[in-house]
Structure 1
Amino acid sequence: MNKEVTPPSQEMESHAGKNGSILRDLKELFKAVVLLLNILPVFTGYWLALYFTNASFNDHWGIFLLTIIGSTMVMAGALLLNNWYDVDIDTVMARTKNRPTVTGSISLKTVLYMGIAFSVIGFILLLFTTIEAAIYAFIGWFTYVILYTMWSKRKYTLNTVIGSISGAVTPLIGWAAIEPAYHIVPIILFLILFIWQMPHTFAIAIKKYDEYKAAKVAMLPVVYGFGITKRQMVVYIACLLPLPFFLAQLGTVFIVASTILTVIWLVVSIGGFFTKDDWKWAQVMFLCSVNYLALLFLMMIIVTIPN
């Protein structure tokens, strides 16, 4: 009896395809871009704590690894639990329909267990740094998973304000791993992130208006329209203008550069009142917000690198 033999080359392609599929699933599941954007503020908070306490990075390698790995695992756990809980919404929205929780390539039970495991391990690792760092991580996790995902996201337009707290605590985690965060610098970093997330999220909500509406998610533009959303975006971005001046110790170059970045973003946001293409404008606003945050926090690191 003849058997059809699969050529080795096709077998290798099949394995490569499976591996690629697994990597894509994991990337979707962990929301890789979101995770990376949250790691940068943790590192910045940690780096600036070393700078302002005159501590040596080389003397704190162990704490650094525990802080970065622990906070990343806590955030990953929160994102996994968000995927597990929001599977019904993700099924409706085009931007999330390829998540493995929707396609079924990874079971919901597996995602739930992974979310719990990542969260617990992350908290344990952070407890080996300082209790304060672990507390900030828990505040972020609780706010995102319970107060945002499970309570406010589907009911109240204030969900964006509530969700912003979870992202804003990230530099506090990094700073508190070295020094108590009762300092003007981590407080300002918290405020920058908290305020930044509002226009950033609103830009996404305008871009994905139809999807959020179909999924019945109470985003501001869905409930109250684009006009009030654009006005709030301008106000929030304007509120960022004075904050770099509280970081005068980072130098004049940082203050000038950060002010220029904020003014550019503010001008783009005001342009929203005159645009005929809200989707295109929201896309530009989204790109401005991502680049703004990355450049701002990278500048904080660069200007404090020892000569």
Structure 2
Amino acid sequence: MSQNGIPSALKGKSAAISNNRSGLMADIKALFKGPVLIANVLPVFTGFWLALYFTGASFSDYLNVFLLTIIGSTLVMGGALVINNWYDVDIDTVMDRTKHRPTVTGHIPLKVVLTIGIVLTVLGFILLSFTRWEAVIYAFVGWFTYVILYTMWSKRRYTLNTVIGAVSGAVTPLIGWTAIESGTHIVPIMLFLIIFVFQMPHTFAIAMKKCEEYRAAKVAMLPVVHGFEMTKRQMVVYIACLLPLPFYLGSLGLTFVVIATVMNLGWLIVSISGFFTKDDLKWAQINFLYSVNYITILFLMMIVVTLPIFK
């Protein structure tokens, strides 16, 4: 008997249940790559919101479409991420940052993982089909690019895997926009380009940080194949390509263009400093943190500057 009168056996059982729940939640978060999934929902919402703004539509009139779009796209993206985990189990076994995923530990059987990925994907496409077919098409482009062209074909073979994988993330605002309106407008095109270009230095920074893990897993990331100096040069080039893009979004207002340009210049300065650093891994971590905050602030700002109070 414990000091507070609760039997030790019951306390032990309660602790075990709590640990099991925590372990299950951790496994689910790892299986769905929680932070990645959440990060991809924001551009979908931003695309949807801006489509309403530029067409003069009311959010309340499109509430059902909004729910179908957000839930459907999240399921499709979640399905793609789960299938990626299923396919990459051999790589994840080697890499330190992924060796605790449930596909590696065996907490969730691989057949179950594959089934979950397929079911989520199908359900997601069914929900999106109740919006506009253009949204379904962009969702399929994202899913096919990530699962087939990136995960199963290019990731282990070519350094261009980063370019290919960037397409899947870049279509997310197009899914949100085209649930309301055609994607031929300049705004969704610029959103696509911003995310596409952003993903290159963002992913290169991760690849530099985890270079030895990727090398051990024989994944053809740019730093592994061509070294850090080549990676730094390409990061500077891609970040420089972001500079003109905010000016095509002048319809969002001067405040947005100025802040976006300042952030682009800041990132460019940080990237150029890499040619003078003695600690490449620390520099890569700074770039990674800058990139995460950059894209989050940028897309939240697009929503803020188009709120009714700013009209």
Q: Could you tell me the TM-score, scaled by structure 2's length?
A: 0.97
Q: How many residues align?
A: 303
Deviations along 1:91-129, one digit per CA (max 9) or x if unpaired, are: 000010010000110010000000000000000000011
Query: Which residue of 2 is the match for residue 91 of structure 1?
Result: 93
Partner amino acid, structure 1, of 2:137: I
1:147-158 to structure 2, matched below 5 A, reads: 147-158=149-160
| Candidates 122, 141, 147, aligned match of 1:139 | 141
Counterpart residue number, 1:107: 109
SS at match of 2:230: helix
- Post-superposition shift, 1:14? 1.0
Q: Give the match for residue 217 of structure 1.
A: 219
Q: State the identity %.
A: 68
The answer for the alignment partner of 2:203 in structure 1 is 201
Query: Partners of 1:195 and 1:168 in 2: how far apart?
Result: 9
Q: CA deviation at 1:8?
A: 2.1
Equivalent-residue separation in structure 2 for 1:149 and 1:172 (angstroms): 22
Q: Which residue of 1 aligns with 2:266?
A: 264
Q: SS where residue 97 of structure 2 aligns?
A: helix
CA distance in 2, matches of 1:227, 1:210: 16
Identify the residue that residue 13 of structure 1 maps to in structure 2. 15
Deviations 1:195-251 (A, max 9, x none): 000000000000000000000000011001111110000010010010000000100
Tell me what 1:166 maps to: 168
Letter in 2 for 1:257: I
Determine the C-alpha separation between the residues in 2 that align with 1:248 and 1:103: 50
One-letter amino acid of the structure 2 residue matched with residue 250 of structure 1: L
> Shift of residue 13 of structure 1?
1.1
Residue 121 of structure 2 corresponds to 119
TM superposition outliers: structure 1 runs of 4+ over 3 Å = none
Aligned to 1:226: 228
Q: Deviations over 1:32-77 (max 9, x none)?
A: 0000110000000000000000000011110000000000000000
SS in structure 2 of the partner of residue 299 of structure 1 = helix
Q: CA deviation at 1:9?
A: 2.1
Q: Distance in 2 between matches of 1:263 and 1:37?
A: 23
The offset of 1:11, in angstroms, is 1.6
Q: CA shift at 1:288, angstroms?
A: 0.4
| Counterpart amino acid of residue 91 in structure 2 | I
After alignment, is 202-211 or 11-20 more displaced?
A: 11-20
Query: Hey, what's the Cα distance between the residues in 1 that align with 2:242 and 2:100?
Result: 35
- Mark the runs of 5 or more structure 2 residues left unpaired by the alignment: 1-6
Picking from 72, 75, 99, the partner of 2:74 is 72
Give the whole-Å Cα distance in 2 for the aligned partners of 1:158 and 1:249: 34
Q: Distance in 2 between matches of 1:281 and 1:74?
A: 34
Q: CA deviation at 1:7?
A: 2.6
**Distance in 2 separating the partners of 1:275 and 1:101:** 38
Q: Distance in 1 between matches of 2:146 and 2:64?
A: 28
Secondary structure at 1:23 match in 2: helix
CA distance in 2, matches of 1:292, 1:69: 25
- The one-letter code matched in structure 2 to 1:118 is L
Which residue of the partner structure matches residue 48 of structure 1? 50
TM-score by length of 1: 0.98
Task: Give the CA deviation at 1:6.
Answer: 5.6
